[in-house]
Structure 1
Amino acid sequence: MNSLFKSSYRAFTNIALIKYWGKRHEDLFLPLTSSLSLTLDAFYTDTTVEFKPNAKADVFILDGVQQGVELTQKVSQFVDLFRETAGMNMPVTVTSINHVPTAAGLASSASAFAALASACNGALGLGLDNRALSIYARQGSGSATRSLFGGFVVWHKGEGEDSQSSYAEAIDDAEWDIGMLVVIINQQQKKISSRVGMAHTRDTSPFYAMWPSEVEKDLAAIIPAIEAHDFETVGEIAEHNAMKMHASILASNPSFTYFEPDSLVAMAIVKELREQGIACYVTMDAGPNVKVIGRLSEMDQIIARFKHDFKADQLIVAKPGSAPIELKA
């Protein structure tokens, strides 16, 4: 649905294989390192934006509930980026449906701000391409910059305080035998947000000083592996990168972790499957939910093993997802 001052888009979540963990500039959402992700089709946000000349104020409706001042203000400030570009200040009504648990380490903010950016672009007829939009989306949520593209995506950290140099681009459509099993451990909002967790790790963990060079090394190795469709190397690098991030988190002072007991159960199952000859690998973001990188052709075997310890509704298979798509009326 795209008409004068009104537009609707669906954007998909992404899961970082080379993690984004820490900013060098808080206000501009400039990351300390580059990162790399895989967009997933199973989790997404549908957002409609409508600019109303006769309205008195901005309105934000999430999952059918009108939101309060704090969340509405966050959305308004993001929409201001587009209003300023369009040279107008018309009030907006934003209506979003989140088909992903919010703030549970499943990248809900990535799909949310990518959908919002796409819908603002459409409603105001700005004609920005996805690279330009990724610069806007980054200023709502860092990981949202990657959800402007499908498949494997690199988010370039950029240089200094140059906001325009930090953007995302697709590097591979992921149309090969790769996907993820998402193991839902806990859908509740996490106690320590990614933003708070990043800052605390950066400021207090002695391991964090090594993080930028480790990310650079991992990116240099994983990109050619993706281009070669080398599944095992991609999985090995992604798993090690995730564990390095979580080790840095554990070493914060005071220490904290996003792991829960069942997160460790899921990780143990992945190691067991590998010992049985089924190549699969763990990645985890800032939350307890475990993502298992696997071959789609072997996903039935992976799920069968997980069903011994987890309920069927905790196991969701995700294939590679696409760039945001316009929703028709």
Structure 2
Amino acid sequence: MVDQSIVGQHLESVGRATATANFALSKYWGKQTGGVQQPAVPSISVGIQGLTAEAEVRLNYGTNQEHEIRIAGNPANEKTCRRIETLLDAVFAHSGRKAQAIIRSDTRFPIAAGLASSAAGMAAVAGAAWIAAGLDPGDRSAIADCARLGSGSACRSVHDGYVAWEPTDDGSIIRQVASADHWPLELCLVRLDDRPKKVSSADGMLHCMETSPVWSSWVERAFLDAVEIEQAILDKDLEKLADLVEANCLLMHATTLTARPPIFYMQGRTLQVMETVTSLRRDGLPCFFTVDAGPNVKVFTAPGTAQTIKTALEDMAPIDVYAIGGGLTAEESSI
């Protein structure tokens, strides 16, 4: 049970949580029509240790004051506030009582640069709010469902390791495919540009749904890719996984390039890194690329080979090496 105390005339409770970013091996790109942050296609991701967001949520009961939300020390923008308020309403529906929330969240890596900062941030907020509301921290499925309302892919940051998020007739389900220990791939993050992207992922996928002539092909293939990518993970088949993940990434970006007007998430240097990675693999180095809605390249490698891949790529851009894993860590907090 979360610690609670009387502050003035109000019951107050606090929760804290950390969550890691997750990078998609098969992409979440497209939302269900009329759904609230529900996916149109299945996706599979893996958590990344070291790309971490932190959140503290303080709940004040018995007051009608508005929520106070600050991100990295600054007041959250209107769009972020609306999403977090929707997330909080879902938490309050589980707890059966509402409160004013004072939220402080910080992300320990660049935001809005295609590095899944919103996923980590919203997962941390959801976990902290859940704990502050006195709810069971072991109910990861419910926490993930609340996190999804803040940022769709945040639901995947609640679980450790390889995670699937799949559309259903009445919404979606989130489940762990395998733990990080099952196949501890490594990541070389090639950081080409940390500036916020010009078109958000949410706006980009909606634009592509409405205008790209290859959208239906993307949706059809995405369902097949998710099944085959999951099996490649379970089989620890890097050659098969590399082929599937790169093709899935390129087809997703085909929807952005054929949208009207097109969206250019990738840069010229992005393509150069991608080409180099495929050349390295032809030369026998076990690695493959993927790129989300942004210019930076994620290069996954076989266990124990990240430093070799980093050496081969480090003349092109700064590179950070990470282990996979992560997930949500929520803790009770005293006043």
Under TM normalisation by the shorter chain, which class is it?
A: over 0.9
Question: How large is the Cα RMSD of the aligned pairs?
Answer: 1.8
Match of 1:221 among 224, 228, 231: 228
Q: What's the secondary structure of 2:163's corresponding residue?
A: strand
Please give the alpha-carbon distance, in whole angstroms, between the structure 1 residues aligned to 2:200 and 2:77: 19
Shift of 1:52: 1.9
Unmatched tracts of structure 1, length 5 or more: none
Q: CA contact under 8 A between 1:25 and 1:31: conserved in structure 2?
A: no
1:138-177 pair list within 5 angstroms: 138-159=148-169, 162-163=170-171, 166-175=172-181, 176-177=183-184
Q: Where does the alignment leave 5 or more consecutive residues of structure 2 unmatched?
A: 5-12
The whole-number CA distance in structure 2 between the counterparts of 1:208 and 1:115 is: 32
Structure 2 counterpart of 1:305: 312
Question: Matches of residues 280-295 of structure 1 in structure 2 within 5 Å?
Answer: 280-295=287-302
On the 8 A contact 1:12/1:41 being kept in 2, the answer is: yes
Structure 2 residue 106 is the aligned partner of structure 1 residue 130: no
- Residues 43 and 164, structure 2, Cα contact 8 Å, conserved in 1: yes
Question: In structure 2, how many angstroms separate the alpha carbons of the residues matched to 1:327 and 1:185?
Answer: 35
Report the counterpart of residue 102 of structure 2 in structure 1.
93
Query: Residue 30 of structure 1 contacts residue 158 of structure 1 at CA under 8 Å; is this kept in 2?
Result: no
Question: SS of 1:268's equivalent?
Answer: helix
Cα-to-partner distance string for 1:119-140 (whole Å, 9 max, x where unaligned): 1111111226111222221111
Q: Kindly indicate whether residue 316 of structure 2 is the aligned counterpart of residue 325 of structure 1.
A: no
Q: Hey, what does 2:8 align to over in structure 1?
A: none
Is this contact kept in 2: 1:10–1:324, CA < 8 A?
yes
Between the aligned partners of 1:328 and 1:303, the Cα distance in structure 2 is 39
Map residues 253-268 of structure 1 onto 2, 5 A cutoff. Answer: 253-268=260-275
Post-superposition shift, 1:327? Answer: 4.6
For the pair 1:63 / 2:63, whether they are aligned, the reply is no
Deviation of 1:89 (Å)? 2.4
CA distance in 2, matches of 1:255, 1:65: 32
Q: Against the structure 1 CA distance between its residues 43 and 2, is the aligned structure 2 distance closer, same or farther, given a 3 Å change threshold?
A: farther
In the other structure, the counterpart of 2:10 is none
Q: Normalising by structure 1, what TM-score? A: 0.92
Residue among 314, 319, 324 paired with 1:315: 319
Q: 1:52·1:91 contact (CA, 8 Å) conserved in 2?
A: yes
Sequence identity (%): 30
Q: 1:44 aligns with which of 22, 38, 52?
A: 52
**Alignment check: 8 A CA contact 1:117 1:137 kept:** yes
Per-residue CA distance 1:83-120 (angstroms, 9 max, x = gap): 23322221111111111211111111111111111111
Size of the aligned set, in residue pairs, is: 322
Give the TM-score taking structure 2 as reference length: 0.91
Say whether 1:278 aligns with 2:279.
Answer: no
In structure 1, distance between residues paired with 2:77 and 2:229: 42
1:92 is paired with a residue of what secondary structure?
strand
Displacement after TM superposition at 1:25 (Å): 3.0
The one-letter amino acid of 1:195's match is A
Q: How does 1:239-254 map to 2 (within 5 A)?
A: 239-254=246-261
1:65 to 1:39, Cα distance in 2 relative to 1, 3 A: same
> Matches of 1:108 and 1:179 in 2, distance apart?
19
Flag the 1:256–1:67 CA change in 2: closer, same or farther, 3 A. Answer: closer
Aligned counterparts of 2:328 and 2:257: Cα–Cα separation in 1: 35
The 1-side partners of 2:303 and 2:155 are apart by: 26
Structure 2 contact 58–102 (Cα < 8 Å) conserved: yes
Q: Deviations over 1:151-171 (max 9, x none)?
A: 110001111xx24xx121101
> Amino acid of the residue matched to residue 93 of structure 1?
I
